[in-house]
Amino acid sequence: MKKRLLATALVATMLVGTALSASGCSLSESNDGKTHITILQYKPEAVKAFEKMEEEFNATHDDIVLTIESPNDAMTVLKTRFIKEDAPDIIGIGGDVNYSNFLDAEMLMDISDFEGLSSIKQAYKDIDKNLEFVPMDGVYAVPYVANAAGVLYNREMFKENGWEIPTTWDEFMSLCDEIKAAGIQPVYFGFKDIWTCLAPWNALACDLAPADVCQQVNRGETKFIDEYYTVSEKMLELLEHAQKDPFAYSYNDACTAFANGESAMYCIGSYAVPQIQSVNPDMDIDSFVMPGADNADDNILNSGVDLQFCITNECKDKEAAYEVLSFLLEDSTIQTYLDDQNAVPCKDKEFELSPALDGMLDYINEGKMVDYQDHYYPAEMSVDAQIQTFLLHGDIDKFLNKFDTDWVRYNRDIIRKVQAYEEANGGNE
């Protein structure tokens, strides 16, 4: 009953019938004597990579047939299929609040005995563990690939002008002044698309706020107005170095402008590199970690699990699903995805990565990273829109007071659950 009620809450605002056409249940009903495993994954931009994976798996396995579905509105399709008890065997989703909700609704299978987990970097397994509303026994996801957010920069432009990569906030602001003095636009933003406001916000927050700030707030230990004030101040300071009216330009506009050399830097994630290089394939792009801290040693890479695989409780053949997961974790399969999507592997092994990640490699290799703060934000809060409004008007107190109020409003049930857990277990250890 809990599963059904919570799943219903997940899709209360959706039209159930819209997703049923995407159901792949007929495959599991085949009488060909083979085991059929279906993956539904949420990244339609990676459909070509997944088509290649599906083809390679089926060419090398006689007893298992793999089907990978990549619908455009995957989360709507997935949530609806959960409601209809027609879940795929494996889901490919991000490490964010959707994953948290699926865990809370007890929709995912414990895969603690999957041997492939031992190959995953501990930092990414920790990130997934932190997404649990309350601590749970078991492991429920295989982190697959991540992305990283910070500052992309024009490597050729930096070399020509002798600019140094900043390692502190003061150095970063001084660099922006130096670039501006040279008659070049320091940074570009595409804040017309509100989701892009989250990129610099997350990158600054991971340096300046506790990694578990959302959990601390849920436990009643702090408030966002206390933990996010410096983040907000530095967002406004960074905005001073943006192009005129960054709210008039979209993500595509910003990518195009940066690709055409209209700015030296672009505060965005590594996921933007393919878009930028579609405009200028020869552009020499590198990146550096957002230097939000006053001490260089306090800077940390903003990296979260962009894609992970979970086995649903509806899966009838766990071992066959494990065989699929093992194939997905093969080095060549991972490299197929990396080449297509400019991603960061969660597997603890050296891979050929995009040169645009060169400046972040030390952090990646050392596991010095924390998750995106917005992976904990409920969609109902529309935090990206709140940040955009704040940047337009500059009122920090109004912004963060509303943030705290809305957090309680949209997380009331979770807060009760967390605090009940803490009370029952003697508080936070």
Q: Which domains does the chain have, with CATH numbers?
A: 2-147+304-363 (3.40.190.10)
According to the model, what pLDDT value does residue 317 have? 97
According to the model, what pLDDT value does residue 30 have? 57
According to the model, what pLDDT value does residue 16 have? 35
Residue 310's H or E segment, with its range, is strand 301-311
- Give 13: exposed, middle or buried? Use CB within 10 Å, 0-12, 13-18, 19+: exposed
Phi-psi label, residue 305: left if phi above 0, alpha if psi -120 to 50, beta otherwise: beta
Interatomic CA distance for residues 259 and 264, integer angstroms: 10
According to the model, what pLDDT value does residue 247 have? 98
How does 32-69 read in b/e, with b if 16+ C-beta sit within 10 Å? eeebbbbbbbbbeebbebbeebbebbeeebeebbbbbb
According to the model, what pLDDT value does residue 1 have? 41
Q: Residue holding tokens 């529309």?
A: 382
Q: What is the mean pLDDT of each run of 10 residues along the chain (429 residues)?
A: 44 37 42 90 94 97 96 92 93 96 95 97 94 95 95 98 98 98 97 97 96 95 98 98 97 98 96 93 97 95 96 96 98 94 92 92 91 95 98 98 98 94 78
Q: Where are the beta strands (DSSP E) in 80-157?
A: 90-93, 142-149, 151-154
According to the model, what pLDDT value does residue 342 have? 84
Q: Which residues are 151's β-sheet partners?
A: 288
